[in-house]
C-alpha cells in the first residue's frame, strides 16, 4: 500500500493546549521550525496512520460548508494558518463543553505535498490527549519524562484541494466518531473502500437484527447468508445491489426485508451508495475478519461455515437433552 509520508516535514505547525495555568483556554502558538530529523518524526505522527486509498470529500450541501470553505480557501490562497486553527479549536471547546489539561490540538501545513497526481499545499488537523512516561538517560543521570507517544492521534484529518473548487479528505478517528461529528460533521467518505465497508456492516446487521431476531431463522441460515455474501463479493470483485439480491437473497420476502433494512441503515448514516461499487482484495480481507461465518457452540466448539447450508442439520437429542449439528462432507481437507 502506498503511504502519505513525505520527504519534507511540515512547513508550519500550530499547537494549542486546552487549559493554561489560569484555568482558561491557552492561546495558540506556532511551533518552532523543525530540522530534518524532527520534521520526519512529525511526518510519521501526522501521516502514517491514514489509509491512502480511503479518501473522501467534504459535503458541499452541508450548512457548515461555506464557513469551512472560506477558512480553507484563506489558507490555500493566502497561507493563513492561525485563523483556521483558532476557529476549529474554539468550535470544539464550545461544542464539547469539556476541557482536559493533558490534551493538545495541532494544525499542520505542508507547502509541497505529493500524492498521486497532486502536488501542492496540504493541511491537517489533529487532536490528542494520551500521555506516556518515558526514560531519558543522559550519562549517569536518569530522568522520567512525560509526553505524547508517537502513535495514532485520537483524531486526524488531512485536507487537499480536489481540483474542482472543493476539497478531498483523509480521515482517521480510531475508537470514536465524536471528533468528526462535532468538528467535521460534513465529512463523507465517497470511495469504493468506504462503500464496501458500509455494505459488509449492513449485511452483518441485517443477519443479526432481521434474520435472527425478527424472523427467528436458524443460526445456520444466518451464517450461511454471511458466507454467501462474502463469496459473492469475492467472486465478483464488486457489489451490484440488484444482482446481489437475486443471487444471494433470492426469496422475495427476504429481498423486501433487506430493502427496508437498507433504507433505514443508509438513512441513519447518511450513506448514499452507488448501485455498484468495487470490492478490493484489501476490503474483502477486512470483511472476512469482521463478518465471521461462525456458529459458536457453548465454549467447546466453533463451526466455520463457507456456504452449502444444505450440508448442515440441527437437532435435539431427547435422551441427552442436548442440541447437536450433523455435518455432511465429501472428504477431509
Chunked mean pLDDT (size 10), the chain, 333 residues: 75 74 65 79 87 72 84 90 83 66 82 85 86 70 71 84 81 61 71 86 91 86 86 94 95 95 85 91 82 58 55 64 60 63
Q: Which of 74, 170, 76 is nearest to 125 (CA)?
A: 170
Say if CB 168 and CB 55 are below 8 A apart.
Answer: yes
Cα distances from 19 to residues 27, 94, 124, 125, in angstroms, run 9, 14, 22, 19
**List of residues 6+ apart from 181 with CB closer than 8 A:** none
* 3-class secondary-structure state, position 220: helix
Q: Residue 175: what pLDDT?
A: 46
Q: Interhelix angle for 281-290 vs 219-236, to 10°? A: 170
Q: Residue 2: what pLDDT?
A: 47
What is the greatest pairwise CA distance in the chain?
81
* 3-class secondary-structure state, position 123: strand
pTM over 0.75: no
Neighbours of 272 (CB within 10 A): 10
The DSSP bridge partners found for residue 172 are 156
Amino acid at each position: 500500500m502506498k503511504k502519505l509520508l513525505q520527504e519534507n516535514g511540515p512547513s508550519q505547525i500550530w499547537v494549542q493546549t486546552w487549559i493554561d495555568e489560569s484555568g482558561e483556554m491557552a492561546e495558540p502558538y506556532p511551533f518552532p521550525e523543525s530540522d530534518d530529523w524532527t520534521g520526519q518524526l512529525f511526518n510519521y505522527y501526522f501521516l502514517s496512520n491514514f489509509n491512502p486509498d480511503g479518501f473522501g470529500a467534504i459535503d458541499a450541501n452541508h450548512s457548515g460548508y461555506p464557513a469551512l470553505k472560506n477558512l480553507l480557501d484563506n489558507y490555500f490562497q493566502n497561507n493563513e494558518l492561525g485563523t483556521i486553527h483558532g476557529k476549529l479549536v474554539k468550535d470544539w471547546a464550545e461544542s464539547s463543553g469539556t476541557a482536559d489539561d493533558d490534551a493538545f490540538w495541532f494544525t499542520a501545513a505542508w507547502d509541497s505535498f505529493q500524492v498521486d497526481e497532486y502536488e501542492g499545499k496540504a493541511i491537517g488537523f489533529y487532536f490528542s490527549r494520551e500521555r506516556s512516561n518515558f526514560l531519558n538517560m543522559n550519562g549517569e543521570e536518569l530522568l522520567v519524562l512525560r509526553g505524547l507517544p508517537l502513535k495514532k492521534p485520537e483524531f486526524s484529518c488531512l485536507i487537499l484541494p480536489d481540483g474542482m473548487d472543493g476539497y478531498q479528505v483523509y480521515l482517521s478517528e480510531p475508537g470514536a466518531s465524536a471528533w468528526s461529528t462535532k468538528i467535521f460533521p460534513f465529512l463523507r467518505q465517497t470511495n469504493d473502500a468506504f462503500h464496501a465497508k458500509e455494505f459488509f456492516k449492513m449485511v452483518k446487521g441485517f443477519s443479526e437484527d432481521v434474520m435472527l431476531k425478527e424472523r427467528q431463522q436458524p443460526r445456520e441460515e444466518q451464517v450461511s447468508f454471511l458466507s454467501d455474501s462474502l463469496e459473492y463479493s469475492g467472486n465478483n470483485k464488486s457489489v451490484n445491489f440488484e444482482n446481489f439480491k437475486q443471487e444471494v437473497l433470492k426469496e422475495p420476502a427476504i429481498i423486501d426485508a433487506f430493502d427496508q433494512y437498507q433504507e433505514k441503515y443508509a438513512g441513519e448514516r447518511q450513506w448514499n451508495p452507488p448501485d455498484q461499487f468495487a470490492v478490493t482484495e484489501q476490503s474483502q480481507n477486512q470483511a472476512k475478519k469482521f463478518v465471521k461465518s461462525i456458529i459458536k457452540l457453548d465454549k467447546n466448539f466453533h463451526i466455520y461455515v463457507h456456504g452449502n447450508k444444505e450440508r448442515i442439520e440441527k437437532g435435539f437429542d431427547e435422551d441427552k437433552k442436548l442440541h447437536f449439528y450433523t455435518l455432511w462432507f465429501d472428504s477431509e481437507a
